[in-house]
Amino acid sequence: MAVQVAHASVLAAFEAFRNFRDWFEKWWESGQKKIVVKVGGERELLELYAKAKDRRLPVAIVRDAGLTEIPPGTLTAIAIGPCPSELVDELTGRLKLL
């Protein structure tokens, strides 16, 4: 699980670095805050991903390559941000911490 979360986090950070440079730099300079929450399943992950895309937030989705224990193509994690916390909280604020 930690690897999948880390993978999503790195992908989202690179997305922000390329396309949301101001948000990335503020996040970088302030200590790179990361919060991990859990959802009820794949459908909820896909809904959150779609909402983040619709709101034009940096977002990444991870589908496992299947090189270890998980079948290829399994959706394992998404990451939203770096961006202002209130924008992420609108989507994830109701979710429980992992």
pLDDT at 33: 95
Burial of 39 (0-12, 13-18, 19+ CB in 10 A): middle
* In a domain? residue 97: no
pLDDT of residue 97: 97
Structural domain boundaries enclosing 58: 2-92
Question: What's the rounded Cα separation, in Å, for the pair 56 and 81?
Answer: 10
CB-based contact 15:60 (threshold 8 Å): yes
In a domain, 64, yes or no: yes
pTM confidence score: 0.92
pLDDT in tens, the chain (98 residues): 899 999 999 999 999 999 999 999 999 999 999 999 999 999 999 999 999 999 999 999 999 888 888 899 999 999 999 999 999 999 999 999 99
Q: The CATH number of the domain where 13 resides is what? A: 3.40.1490.10
Q: Looking at the domain assignment, is residue 98 inside a domain?
A: no
Number of domains in the chain: 1
CB 70 within 8 A of CB 77: no
Neighbours of 21 (CB within 10 A): 10
Query: What's the pLDDT score for residue 91?
Result: 97
